[in-house]
Amino acid sequence: MSKNNSETVTISKAEYESLKNLKDHCAQLESELNWLKEQLQISKKKTFGSSSERTEQLHRQMTLFFNEAEALEDTENRNTEITVEQYKRKQKTGCFDKLLENIETYTVEHELSEEERKCPECGEEMEVIGKKITKHLEMIPAQVRIREDVYFTYACKKCHENEADTPVIETPQPNPVIKGSFASAQAIAHLMAQKFVMHSPLYRQEQELKQKGIELSRQTMSNWFITASKLWLEPLYERMKELLLKESVLHADETTLQVLKTKDKPTATKSYMWLYRTSGCSKAPIVLYDYRPNRKAENAESFLKDFKGYLHTDGYMAYRGIENVTIVGCWAHARRRFCEALEVLPEEQRKDSTAAIGLDYCGKLYAIEKKTKDESPEDRLKERQEQAKPLLDAFFAWAKSLRNIAPKSKLGKAVNYLIEEEPYLRRYIEDGRLEIDNNRAERSIKPFVIGRKNWLIKPFVIGRKNWLFANTPSGAKASATAFSIIETAKENGLDPYGYLKYVFTKAPNLKESESVDILLPWNAPDCCRSKLAPSTE
């Protein structure tokens, strides 16, 4: 007969409830401990992870900043072996940069003097029998000069002598970009391109000009920007906005911007730069930025009130209530969450983990898109319905079957985001013109968000760190307008400087029969086209 070693203990109901609460409290503490371990893992990876892009990029930037020539020397002189039939030879990989054919070229001919061409044997003049040509790339620093325009006035001398009414004719004078200012279209275009394309802030441009003996203050340059933007770029912006809202598919995003002098608002309060742009199905790309003092839904509603169609966004709720707008979710955000959930796991636990399974589903969806990216919208839609739809059904069913996942953990956030965003994440398979994510908008807003707060890499930061704040709302609006025109020009294969110079020269002198449409980027003359842009022929 076996003995039962279990012992029955009688406790009161109050003691039972106390033990039960203690058990629940222990479970809660264990969940919080796991969450803290996860956060510690994330922090350690960001700080010490050997595969971190941030660490590698920082090391490379510091190397180039202090010793750029020596840092690049090894890569330029490194030899690699290539196999040629039955033997190997070494080929240098450095110093093989190609000179572009469309760069302006001039020729300097070097000839011997008449005395030097005499034959040393018979004394007769020698003839050219060949030549050797070498090419060198010359770089001329930016030149600053004053153009003095003289417009002559003419009168009839004979009529004057006969005391008749003397006709007077003046040489026609084109309207300047800013009346009463010595600013030229070239100057404003150059300063704007330096600020918004090369990310050189006004204080740096002021210093560079001072080294050339030019006293041009930041305040003057800022006034030029705001005035030229209001006079000539804003009408162009409004016309592009009209055309943008007639599209059937758009992308939207937003990022922070600090404006120092805002009425009835503390200096440290964040303002926002909203982005709206065309999708890949548009024939004429348009990228518009809209400065707003806050992130309220009314900003998107106001901008998009005349738009009807699909709108690609992230999970921000401000876009969800806009009338006649169908929201398309972003799979890049869903995939990113599963990536983060996988990264916090120890290396030995990653394979076949729940996070890895979710990431694999995302990878298969993106593989379908990669395969169909060059197909027509009709064929792409067919492929999505046949291949992506069953995969989506399985993915969401799998996510809903998961249990006992801490909601605050990285994995819990990834799964919850997936389930909550299901209607919007499925939507891209409804139309072949739609895209699987909102990366197109994120790429366009990247110039505003690029940069890091780590003081070690401040010398290398470009973008928002150079206009991290605007001084006034009018300055922020002018910046948004200028950046919209420049980014749209770049999307259409134009050189920003050449296009801005064209606009500032042409816009003040438009004829009554000409509309602002002649200034649109896709109607710009060939002289505005970037040398790096593909030919339109």
Share of the chain above pLDDT 70, in %: 79
Q: Which domain holds residue 412?
A: 330-437
pLDDT in tens, 205-231: 999 999 888 899 999 999 999 999 999
Answer yes or no: is pLDDT of 66 > 50. no
Q: How many domains does the chain have?
A: 1
Q: Has residue 400 been placed in a domain?
A: yes
Q: Has residue 377 been placed in a domain?
A: yes
Between 268 and 199, the more confident residue is: 199
pTM > 0.85: no
Q: Has residue 48 been placed in a domain?
A: no
Least confident piece of the model among 144-153, 407-416, 470-479 = 470-479
Between 85 and 347, the more confident residue is: 347
For 276-290, the DSSP string reads: EEE-TT-SS--EEEE
- Do residues 200 and 218 lie in contact, with contact meaning Cβ atoms separated by under 8 Å? no
Least confident piece of the model among 90-94, 102-106, 290-294, 316-320 = 90-94
Which one, of 263, 290, 308, lies nearest residue 476 by Cα? 290
Q: Has residue 27 been placed in a domain?
A: no
pLDDT in tens, 292-336: 988 899 999 999 999 999 999 998 999 998 999 999 999 999 999
Q: Has residue 402 been placed in a domain?
A: yes
At residue 117 the predicted structure's pLDDT band, cuts being 50, 70 and 90, is: confident
pLDDT at 275: 96
At residue 75 the predicted structure's pLDDT band, cuts being 50, 70 and 90, is: low
pLDDT at 452: 28
Mean pLDDT of 169-179: 91
**413 vs 341: CA distance, rounded Å:** 9
Q: What stretches of 13-171 show up as alpha helix (H) in DSSP?
A: 13-48, 53-77, 157-161
For 209-242, the DSSP string reads: HHHTT----HHHHHHHHHHHIIIIIHHHHHHHHH
Pairing between β-strand 287-292 and β-strand 168-170 as defined by DSSP bridges:
unpaired
Average pLDDT, the chain: 82
Answer yes or no: is pLDDT of 95 > 80. no
Q: Has residue 339 been placed in a domain?
A: yes
For 393-410, the DSSP string reads: HHHHHHHHH--S--TTSH
For 354-379, the DSSP string reads: HHHHHHHHHHHHHHHHHHHTTS-HHH
Q: Has residue 234 been placed in a domain?
A: no
Pairing between β-strand 309-312 and β-strand 325-328 as defined by DSSP bridges:
parallel
Answer yes or no: is pLDDT of 125 > 50. yes
- Do residues 331 and 362 lie in contact, with contact meaning Cβ atoms separated by under 8 Å? yes
At residue 33 the predicted structure's pLDDT band, cuts being 50, 70 and 90, is: confident
pLDDT at 515: 93
Share of the chain above pLDDT 90, in %: 48
Instruction: Using the structure block, give the residue that is written with the tokens 């470009």.
Output: 462
pLDDT at 224: 93
pLDDT in tens, 404-421: 888 888 999 999 999 999
At residue 467 the predicted structure's pLDDT band, cuts being 50, 70 and 90, is: very low
Amino acid letter, residue 331? W
Q: Has residue 342 been placed in a domain?
A: yes
pLDDT at 285: 97
User: 3-state class of 291 per DSSP?
Assistant: strand
**277 vs 247: CA distance, rounded Å:** 10
pLDDT in tens, 38-65: 677 667 666 655 444 333 443 454 444 4
Structure tokens, 334:
């869903």
DSSP code at position 408:
T
**348 vs 213: CA distance, rounded Å:** 64
At residue 144 the predicted structure's pLDDT band, cuts being 50, 70 and 90, is: confident
pLDDT in tens, 260-289: 555 666 655 688 899 999 999 999 999 999
pLDDT in tens, 355-405: 999 999 999 999 999 999 999 999 999 999 999 999 999 999 999 999 888
Which one, of 228, 293, 300, lies nearest residue 472 by Cα? 293
Between 432 and 133, the more confident residue is: 432
Which one, of 267, 424, 242, lies nearest residue 334 by Cα? 424
